[in-house]
Structure 1
Amino acid sequence: MRIGIIGAGAIGMLVGAYVKEKDIEVTFYTRREQQAKALRQKGLTCIKKKKIHHYSVDAVSLEEGLGQFVDILFVAVKQYHLSNIQEYLLKARCETIVFLQNGMGHVSFIESLPQTNIGVGIVEHGALKHDDTTVEHTGIGMMKLGTIKGDISSLAYYTHESFPVVYEDSWKEIMGKKLMVNAVINPLTALYNIENGGLLLNVDYHVVMKQLFNEVFDVIGSGEREEEWRHICMICEQTKRNRSSMLRDIDNGRQTEIDAILGYIVNEAGNKNISIPVTMCMYHSIKGLERQMNVHSDVKRKEVFQDANK
Structure 2
Amino acid sequence: MSQTHWTVLGAGSLGCLWAGYLNQAGFPVTLLHREGVAAPESLNLTRFQAEQATAFEARLTTASACPEKSISRLVVATKAHDALNAVAGIKHALTDNACIVLLQNGMGSQQAVAEQYPEFAIIAVCITDGAYRTGPGHVIHAGQGVSRVGALNKAGQKVWRQVVEDLEQTDLIIEACEDINQALWNKLAINIAINGLTALDQCLNGELMQPERYQRVSLLCQETEAVMKGLKLQLPEQGLLQLATDVIEGTAKNRSSMLQDTLRGKITEIDYINGYLVQQAERLNIEVPESLSIYRDVKQRFNQPSS
TM-score range relative to shorter protein: 0.7 to 0.9
Q: Are 1:223 and 2:227 counterparts? A: no
Does 1:174 find its partner at 2:183? Answer: yes
Which one is further off, 126-135 or 152-161? 152-161
2:100 aligned residue: 97
Q: Which amino acid in structure 2 is aligned with residue 266 of structure 1?
A: V
Residues 239, 13 of structure 1: CA spacing in aligned structure 2 closer, same or farther, 3 A cutoff?
Answer: farther
Alpha-carbon displacement from aligned partner over 1:179-226 (angstroms, at most 9, x marks no partner): 2222222212222323434445x4543332222111122113532352
Question: Where does residue 141 of structure 2 map in the other structure?
Answer: 137
Deviations 1:143-163 (A, max 9, x none): 111112332122223237963
- Spell out the pairing of 1:268-283 with structure 2 (5 A cutoff): 268-283=280-295
Q: Distance in 1 between matches of 2:9 and 2:249?
A: 29
User: Is 1:57 matched up with 2:61?
Assistant: no
Q: Is the 8 A contact 2:42 2:138 kept in 1?
A: no
Unmatched 5+ residue regions in structure 1?
295-310
Structural mapping, 1:164-203, within 5 Å: 164-199=173-208, 202-203=210-211
Indicate the SS of the match to 2:302: helix
CA–CA separation in structure 2 for the residues paired with 1:191 and 1:83: 27
Provide the residue aligned with 1:46 in structure 2: 46
Which residue pairs with 2:70 in the alignment?
A: 69
Q: Comparing 135-144 with 84-93, which one deviates more in the overlay?
A: 84-93
Q: CA RMSD for the aligned pairs?
A: 2.6
2:31 equivalent to 1:28: yes
Question: Kindly tell me: are residues 84 and 243 of structure 1, through their superposed partners in 2, closer, same or farther at Cα, counting changes over 3 Å?
Answer: same
Whole-angstrom CA distance in 2 between matches of 1:239 and 1:13: 23
Contact residue 266 and residue 279 of structure 1 kept, 8 A? yes
Q: Distance in 2 between matches of 1:62 and 1:187?
A: 32
Is the aligned partner of 1:125 residue 2:126?
no
Question: What SS class does the counterpart of residue 48 from structure 1 fall into?
Answer: coil
* Distance across 1 between alignment mates of 2:141 and 2:134: 11
What SS does structure 2 have at the residue aligned with 1:4? strand
Aligned pairs, number = 289
Distance 1:71 1:238 in 2: 38
Show the counterpart of 1:256: 268
C-alpha displacement at 1:230, in angstroms? 4.2
> What percentage of aligned pairs have identical amino acids?
25
Q: Which residue of 1 is the match for residue 297 of structure 2?
A: 285
Among residues 4, 10, 14, which one is paired with 2:17 in the alignment?
Answer: 14
Amino acid at match of 2:19: G
Counterpart residue identity of residue 181, structure 2: K
The structure-2 alpha-carbon separation of the partners of 1:234 and 1:126, relative to structure 1 and needing over 3 Å to count, comes to farther
The TM-score, its normalising length taken from structure 2, stands at 0.83
Which structure 2 residue ranges, 5 or more long, are not aligned?
none
Residues 226-235 or 166-175, more deviating: 226-235
Alignment-mate amino acid for residue 79 of structure 1: A
Cα-to-partner distance string for 1:33-54 (whole Å, 9 max, x where unaligned): 544x22xx31233353251222
Q: Name 1:82's counterpart in structure 2.
A: 83
Asked if 1:211 is matched to 2:219, the reply is: yes
Runs (4 or more) in structure 1 with deviation over 6 Å come to none
Q: How far apart are 1:238 and its partner, in Å?
A: 5.2
CA distance in 2, matches of 1:137, 1:198: 24
Q: Tell me the distance in 2 between the aligned counterparts of 1:20 and 1:239.
A: 29
Tell me the SS of whatever aligns to 2:125: strand
Q: In 2, are the aligned partners of 1:18 and 1:160 still within 8 Å (CA)? A: no
1:111: which partner in 2? 115
More deviation in 68-77 or 83-92? Answer: 83-92
* 1:156 matched residue in structure 2: 164
Tell me how far 1:74 sits from its aligned partner. 0.5
Question: Could you tell me which amino acid in structure 2 is paired with residue 208 of structure 1?
Answer: R
